[in-house]
Every structure is written in C-alpha cells, then in structure tokens.
Structure 1
Amino acid sequence: MTSCAASEGASSPVDERNWSEHPEDRIVDALVRTSFLVTAALSAVGTEHHLSLTQVRVLGILSDRQLRMTELAAYLGLERSTLSGLVNRAEQRGLLVRTRADSDGRSIEVSTTAEGRALAESVHGELAARLAPLVVKLDAEQRDCLAGLLESLPEPIESSGDSAPGAGRP
C-alpha cells in the first residue's frame, strides 16, 4: 500500500499542537477544518447561483440519479415537509421534477431536469476550481491517496442506524 506522506513545507496553524496525549483529536481536528473549508466553498458557489447550501447538495446528489422523496429527506436529515418546500422552489426554477415511482405508483421520485443537470455540472466545475488550492501542494500520488482515503469513509448514517443512499456530488 502506498504511504500518504504530507508534502514538504506543508503546514497549518495546528501542526504545532502536541497530539500525543489524544492522537484521535488530530483526525477530528483535520476533518472539522476541512469540512469548514469545503462548506464555505459550497456556500460561495451556491450563492453565486442563488442556491442555498441544501439546494446545492440536492442538485449534486440528484445529478446522476433519481431518488424517492423519503430517501432524499433521510439522506439530507430533513423532514419531508421541509424537503417538499425545497423541491417546490427548485421545480419552479425548472431544476427538478417529481414523478410517480414506477415500482409502486404511490411513492414520489425526484430528479433533475436538463437545466438542473447543467447547473449541477457548472456548480461542480466552479467548486473544483475553488477547492484546487487546498491540494495544490500535493503531488499526483498524494492526491490519489487522499481521494482513496476519503472514499473509504463510510456513507453518512441516519439516526436510525441505517446507511443513507449514495452521496453523488456535493
């Protein structure tokens, strides 16, 4: 297995901390700091397109699949009524569409329209450009290693303990 060594000269303000007493805090701190950076980038790109952070997430999740409203609500951690309002607004903008599920005819599935997919692609590209500086000091092998490590993390877990559906893009 390839070692994921940090780039020489790469440092952060917290590198000086002594993690020996609680080494597990190092990964928690790194994940939290990274989540702040990614969330800020997602929010900034969303704002440029008049999208909330949750709307950006919905477009990313649905960019390559359709989900039942209940599945999407569970994944996002939202009440169905909250998600319904969010989907209504996205439908009015021509980004999402609701259809009856083929499997039972009672459930409602939601998916992106062509306009929604185009916007999701644009947001993805802009997000990639904003996040690129975070990994610019990493060589190709280190970027591959980082991607592999992040991809190996489990999917989000619902409060009931069941795995949520795949995340897709942001």
Structure 2
Amino acid sequence: MEESRPAGPAVEVQDELIDALVQASFMTMAVLSKVAAEHDLSLTQLRVFAILRDRRLRMAGLAEYLGLEKSTMTGLVDRAEKRGLLERAPSPADRRAVDVFLSAAGIDLTERLYAEILRALSPMTSALSPTEQRRLQTLIERMLGGSAA
C-alpha cells in the first residue's frame, strides 16, 4: 500500500529545492571526480587533502571526519605517504598519538587541486551576484550545521 503524501505549494517548493540540491550535488561531484581522476586520486583522497589543507590531525580524528575505520585510514595514508603527499609525526600534544599533515608536495598539489576546482565550479557561482553568493554560502553552511569538511 502506498503512503499518501501531503500535497500543496509547500511540498512542491520542498520537492523543487531537493531536486535543485541533487542537481547541484551531481554537478559538483562530477567536477570533483574529474579533478581527482586527473591527478590519480580517489574522491576520499581528495577529501583528505581538503581536510588537511588548513590543519594537522591525529589519524583517529581524520578517520572520524571521513567516517572510515582506522585500518582503512592507515592504508589510505600509507599510499599518500608513499607518493610524498602526506607525512606522519608524533603529536606534540600526545607523543603516543600520530598526526597526519600535508607534505610540501601535498601542499602544492592541494593548492593546484583547489585552483582547478575553483575554475571548474566558477561558471555555476558566477551566475550569482556577490551578495547572492554570500547569502547562498550562509544558507548552505546553516543547512550543513557548520560541518562542511
């Protein structure tokens, strides 16, 4: 038996909003996938570089950000470390813990990735005025609850 859904203008607006969010997500994911593939990276690796762009994290914290098991995270970091893109070191706050951070080559790659993503997504964002861009950013951040890692 099919559940009945309320109808009306509010539901229509919600449906249109969800459709627009899905379309924007697909376009964004296509850009991210293309940029990652051009640099022989997975989307998860791309996320790692984005997360570490402005911080140094413990392995456990990075795994939590990504929703990955520690063993999966270790393999991912091992591969990036072998490519010279990430480094590990004892945490200054807790010598038993290990921090992960971008190497010099990782910083360089991350800056290039960001520039490529910016160029590729600019056609979507440049359709908006600076005021509209700021408003959209505020709304997206509010929707995400400030957790846009």
TM-score of the superposition, structure 2-length normalised? 0.86
**Which of the numbers 51, 63, 72 marks the counterpart of 1:82?**
72
Who is 2:39 aligned against?
49
Distance of 1:30 and 1:84 partners within structure 2:
36
Who is 1:10 aligned against?
none
Shift of 1:29: 2.5
> Which has the larger helix fraction?
2
Paired residue secondary structure (1:115)? helix
Distance of 2:118 and 2:18 partners within structure 1:
24
Shift of 1:151: 2.6
Residue segments in structure 2 that go unaligned for 5+ positions in a row: 1-6
1:105 aligns with 2:71: no
Shift of 1:43: 0.8
Who is 1:71 aligned against?
61
The answer on whether the counterparts of 1:94 and 1:116 sit within 8 Å (CA) in structure 2 is: yes
Who is 2:145 aligned against?
154
Who is 1:60 aligned against?
50
**Which of the numbers 82, 98, 111 marks the counterpart of 1:92?**
82
Amino acid corresponding to residue 9 of structure 2 in structure 1:
S
Residue segments in structure 1 that go unaligned for 5+ positions in a row: 1-17, 157-165
Aligned positions of 1:14-53 closer than 5 A: 20=9, 22=11, 23-53=13-43
Shift of 1:32: 2.1
Distance of 2:9 and 2:50 partners within structure 1:
39
The answer on whether the counterparts of 1:101 and 1:109 sit within 8 Å (CA) in structure 2 is: yes
The CA RMSD over aligned residues, in Å, is 1.8
Amino acid corresponding to residue 25 of structure 1 in structure 2:
D
Distance of 1:154 and 1:30 partners within structure 2:
19
Aligned length: 141
Paired residue secondary structure (2:132)? helix
Q: Deviations over 1:16-43 (max 9, x none)?
A: xx97262433333222222211111111
Paired residue secondary structure (2:120)? helix
Distance of 1:79 and 1:26 partners within structure 2:
36
Shift of 1:137: 1.9
TM-score of the superposition, structure 1-length normalised? 0.76
Q: Deviations over 1:51-105 (max 9, x none)?
A: 1111111011101111111111111111111111110000001000011112221
Shift of 1:48: 0.8
Identity %: 45
Who is 2:111 aligned against?
121
Distance of 2:16 and 2:99 partners within structure 1:
41
